[in-house]
Amino acid sequence: MTKRKPKKDASITIHMPADHKEQLSSLAEMLRAGQGASEYVYENLIKPHLLKLKAETKIKQKIFGLTENDKNAELQVDLCERTETQDIKKA
């Protein structure tokens, strides 16, 4: 039986200055024992930000009535309206 190699560290904070990483580690430790700096950043900063962006996008889609199909149709119309003379002038 062969031993499995440990996974490589995919740390968010790998290129962060040591003092910043230590601050994040201490904050993480206060919230939950054993939590690392990267886990703290992901759970408390990145994840809430992504959820906020998702909610904002849904709201904008409802306000403006946009769907992915509408966006694709608009793009196709823009491309169809271009003429060869406009393309030549731009080149």
Tokens of 82: 């271009």
44: containing domain:
18-90
**Number of separate domains in the chain:** 1
Handedness of CA 80, 84, 88, 91 (dihedral sign): positive
Residue 27's pLDDT band (cuts 50, 70, 90) = very high
**47 vs 25: CA distance, rounded Å:** 18
- Please give the mean pLDDT across all residues of the chain: 77
Say how many residues make up the chain: 91
Q: What is the pLDDT of residue 61?
A: 87
Whether 28 shows a pLDDT value over 80: the answer reads yes
Asked whether 37 and 25 are in contact (CB, 8 A), the reply is yes
On whether residue 29 sits in a domain, the answer given is yes
Scanning the structure block, which residue is given the tokens 């993480």? 28
**91 vs 83: CA distance, rounded Å:** 13
**65 vs 3: CA distance, rounded Å:** 55
On whether residue 7 sits in a domain, the answer given is no
Whether 87 shows a pLDDT value over 70: the answer reads no
On whether residue 13 sits in a domain, the answer given is no
On whether residue 60 sits in a domain, the answer given is yes
**Residue 43 burial (CB count, 10 A):** 14
Residue 88's pLDDT band (cuts 50, 70, 90) = low
Whether 84 shows a pLDDT value over 60: the answer reads no
On whether residue 67 sits in a domain, the answer given is yes
Q: What is the mean pLDDT of residues 41-69?
A: 87
Q: What is the pLDDT of residue 6?
A: 55
On whether residue 49 sits in a domain, the answer given is yes
